[in-house]
Amino acid sequence: MKTYVTRYVALAAAWMAIAPVMVSAAEAARPVVGKIERLDPAFDRLVAADAKMEKLAEGFTWSEGPVWYEGGVVFSDVPKNIAYRWKEGMTKAEVFLQPSGLLTPTPGFREEGSNGLALDRQGRLIVCQHGERRVARYAGGKFTVVADRFEGKRFNSPNDVVVRRNGEVYFTDPPYGLDKMNDSPLKEIPFSGVYRVTADGKVTLLTKSLTFPNGIAFSPDEKILYIAVSDGKATRVVAYDVKADGTIEGERTFFDAQPLKVAGGKGSCDGLKVDREGNVWTTGPGGVLVLSPAGKLLGKLDTGVPTANCGWGDDGSTLYITANQMLLRVRTKTKGAGW
């Protein structure tokens, strides 16, 4: 018996010794894409010097909206009307929802699938559905409506969403899902709004001043609301002060990304997230732009392709990135807000 136990302990110790090597080998086998640019010493506190962007899956048309859900990352392929899921150990992503954004075939859409994704306070999936022109909750294998109209009129194509700690849902509504976008005959609301949905389902228009409002996130203390504007002529991140009643005021440019686009950076400000220190990680010309709480560009995760969105997962220190046809990840030294 003693001999058996001794051998078991020895084998266990040997396994523990080689397990990290095996994991590292598996990770090393994944393709590394793009490059990481360090533009300010503060960036070194956020991303390690030896960090790499790993390609986890590819072959999508336009990947979007990554969110950590039930032990894996769920993300959208908007034109294909599919949401995928990837977990550690998978060689490719699996279909999670099909259809994801348009449940009944209907003409008039250029991108009909799900887009931005988030979790509510109960851990349920919140889905921006282009084709259904609504924000919905997915649980128990079915969708329920969070919001689909403002003052009786259908939304354009809800794009991205964030849930406040009190359960209120904030989302953006540009026309990207519609054929001809702003000139679509399906368009019922003449502007691209940013909205709030209270716990009782009341929909409030927060602003209609932005041409193409897109990604949306709160500062860690929820006193600032950030919105990415994907207007190709004026791409930027704007910030608002959040008032006590949940509405917003004080619109201002937090970061002007148009010079990066003019200089040849691929993509526009699209999805964004905030880390627990208040830094803003926004996609933009050149990949993912990492901005200090003061709006200073600290560094770039240059994916080499137009990049849609990002979001933290695992223990909160892995950033997943949806970059055109790919799903990527990079380890960070910080964690996402709320982790």
Is the model more confident about 1 or about 308? 308
Position 172 pLDDT exceeds 90: yes
Is the model more confident about 198 or about 28? 198
Position 15 pLDDT exceeds 90: no
Q: In which band, very low, low, confident or very high, does the pLDDT at 36 lie, cut at 50, 70 and 90?
A: very high
DSSP string, 297-332: EEEEEE-SS---EEEEETTTTEEEEEETTEEEEEE-
Burial (CB count <10 Å: 0-12, 13-18, 19+), residue 317: middle
- The C-alpha angle 287, 293, 296, rounded to 5 degrees, equals 55
Please tell me the pTM assigned to this model. Answer: 0.92
